[in-house]
Amino acid sequence: MKNEWPLWEIFIRGQHGLAHRHVGSLHAPDAEMAIKNARDVYTRRNEGVSIWVVEARHIAATAPGDKGPLFEPSESKVYRHPTFFDIPDDVGHM
Amino acid sequence: MYAQMIKTANSGVKPREEMSDQERAFQDKIDADIKIEPRDWMPDDYRRTLIRQIGQHAHSEVVGQLPEGNWITRAPTLERKMILLAKVQDEAGHGLYLYSAAETLGESRDELVRLLHEGRMKYSSIFNYPTLNWADIGAVGWLVDGAAIVNQVALQRTSYGPYSRAMVRICKEESFHARQGYHAMMKMAFGSPAQKKMAQDALNRLWFPSIMMFGPSDSESTHSEQSMAWKIKVKSNDELRQQYIDQTVPQIEYLGLDLPDPGLKWNAERGHYDFSEPDWSELFDVIKGNGPCNTDRMNARVKAWDDGQWVRDGLMAHARKKAARQHAAE
């Protein structure tokens, strides 16, 4: 059996951060050790208040080749950015 | 430079007419300064060169813990000892970031470590020099980390995204180390005559090895052309070396130490310091494995790996047992 420690991706929410951000990865035998090591490596200088670890094999990602079909069409959908409606001054702030 | 003498897998730069459509699209991205990411297509040689360079860089961080670790138990004050401990811990973290970056290219960390232990991958030449007195630890922080910063700041703009991001993180911590090292040197240089003598001795021994960290001069470094075209490397060895020397000489003068090279002279015409050529045969010798500490360094790494085998296996067996128990309970 292959005894290489699996790879974990590390996400940290900063002191004033609203969301967890991906900061890097590390090898560890299990989640508990992954958290311990992430604490030592990635939060040594007050970088965070919360850590998520996820084994890398559980992450699915979009393919670079899908960039066009997935994301480009939204550029033509101006109605998703409805910043151009004039509201009469009389109505006040909306 | 932590990664030196990286041979690109091919020879010379491929002319545009000979490129496939894929290669041309890749080169266009590089030329437009668009970062290459793990899942993007890349030429095999680009991938191989990067695995070699980032892997070697990671190995250097790990092996680099040994010369400084040598003085942890003998640090002269508790404050210096804590600083040194924190620094060595940072280096372990840098190794970790870099191995992670190398792994995004499809090579496993254990495999890279195996190649290092078998002598099939290298690490920076500088870590094959011994640390003989306490001032060496200050000099390593100041000169070696100083040289590493010059190289790594340039690498923040390297074309491979994960490598460039690792450099951003590392540079921040590396600059603490250089300052800490310089501060330790100041204490020695402004201390008793015996302390000043130690500082001078450390500078004299580490100066040439530190300027050799940037690799051979550009005229000798035939392998860097393709790395430059791919923007893996953004500045040449000689450019980086000159930059390091220009910024370091005033720091030596401030310490009141003698310049470690009689050839170091300000050249007003060039706007740079002139310096003597280092003994390149020494660099090639060290890289080949014949430096003062090559054997010791590798023995220490291999011993740690072999002696730790049962611990790694035990942790893995425990993790599997725990996972199985949890699975059964669900």
Which range has the worst mean pLDDT, A81-90, B118-127, B202-211, B236-245?
A: A81-90
Question: Which pLDDT score is estimated for B131?
Answer: 96
Q: How many percent of chain A have pLDDT more than 90?
A: 45
Query: How far apart, in whole angstroms, are the C-alpha atoms of residue B83 and residue B68?
Result: 11
Chain B CA closest to residue A63: B39
pLDDT for res B11: 57
Please give the structure tokens belonging to residue B29.
């991205």
* Average predicted confidence (pLDDT) for chain B: 93
Among A25, A41, A64, beta carbon nearest to B37:
A64
pLDDT of B6 reads 65
pLDDT above 90 (res B84): yes
Nearest to A27 among B93, B97, B109 (CB): B109
* B318/A29 Cβ within 8 A: yes
On the question of pLDDT at B120 being above 90, the answer is yes
Residue A60 token pair: 């699915």
Of residues B165, B168, B10, B144, the one with CA closest to residue B67: B144
Give residue A85's pLDDT band: very low, low, confident or very high (50, 70, 90): confident
B70 touches chain A (CB under 8 A): no
Q: Global pTM?
A: 0.90
Which helix (H) or strand (E) segment holds residue B327: the answer is helix B309-329
**A90 vs B201: which has the higher pLDDT:** B201
**Average pLDDT for B51-57:** 95
Structure ipTM: 0.79
Count of C-beta atoms within a 10 Å radius of residue A91: 7
In tens, the pLDDT along A9-20 reads 999 999 888 899
Per-residue model confidence (pLDDT) at position B1: 45
Answer yes or no: are the C-beta atoms of B179 and B211 closer than 8 Å: no
Q: Which CATH superfamily is domain A7-91 in?
A: Phenylacetic acid degradation B (3.10.20.520)
Which pLDDT score is estimated for B260? 96
A30 touches chain B (CB under 8 A): yes
**Longest CA span, chain B:** 78
A59 touches chain B (CB under 8 A): no
Residue A50 has pLDDT above 50, yes or no: yes
Please report which confidence band the pLDDT of residue B291 belongs to, taking 50, 70 and 90 as the band edges: very high
Question: Which domains does chain B show, CATH number per domain?
Answer: 18-291 (1.20.1260.10)
How far does the CA of residue A3 sit from the closest CA of chain B (Å)? 7
User: In the structure, what pLDDT confidence band is assigned to residue A78 with cuts at 50, 70 and 90?
Assistant: confident
- Please state at what angle helix B44-63 crosses helix B161-189, rounded to 10 degrees: 30
Q: Do B312 and A64 count as a contact with CB atoms less than 8 A apart?
A: no
DSSP B26-80: HHHHHHTTPPB-TTS---HHHHHHHHHHHHHHHHHHHHTHHHHHTTGGG-SSHHH
Q: Which of A37-51, B181-195, B289-303 has the lowest mean pLDDT?
A: A37-51
Lookup result for tokens 């792994």: B103
CB contact under 8 A, A3 and B312: yes
**What pLDDT sits at residue A93?**
83
Q: Quote the percentage of chain B above a pLDDT of 70.
A: 95
Residue B12 has pLDDT above 80, yes or no: no
Q: Is B315 on the interface with A (CB under 8 A)?
A: yes
Evaluate if residue A1 carries a pLDDT over 80: no
**Does B64 score more than 60 pLDDT?**
yes
3-state secondary structure of B194: helix
The mean pLDDT value for B159-175 works out to: 93
Q: Which of A67-71, B237-241, B243-247, B309-313 has the lowest mean pLDDT?
A: A67-71
Look at B37 and A24 and tell me if their CB atoms are within 8 Å. no
Q: Cβ of A27 under 8 Å from any chain B Cβ?
A: yes
Structure confidence at residue B220 (pLDDT):
77
Query: What pLDDT score does B137 carry?
Result: 97
Q: Which of A41, A53, A58 to mutate to test the interface with B (most CBs of B within 10 A)?
A: A41
Contact call for residues B124 and B60 (beta carbons, < 8 A): yes
Decide which of B250 and A62 is more confident. B250
B194 token code pair: 């015996």
Distance from CA of B100 to the nearest CA of A (A): 6
Mean pLDDT across B94-119: 95
CA distance B231 to B13: 12
For B242-266, how does the pLDDT look when each residue is reduced to its tens digit (9 = 90+)?
999 999 999 999 999 999 999 999 9
Structural domain boundaries in chain A: 7-91
Residue B67: its pLDDT value, please?
96
pLDDT of residue B314: 95
B306 interfaces chain A, CB cutoff of 8 Å: no
The arithmetic mean of pLDDT across residues B229-238, rounded, is: 93
| Closest chain B residue by Cα to residue A62 | B39
Q: Distance of CA A20 to CAs A10, A52, B14, B166, Å?
A: 9, 8, 43, 19
The pLDDT assigned to B5 comes to 63
Residue in A24, A44, A61 nearest the CB of B100: A24
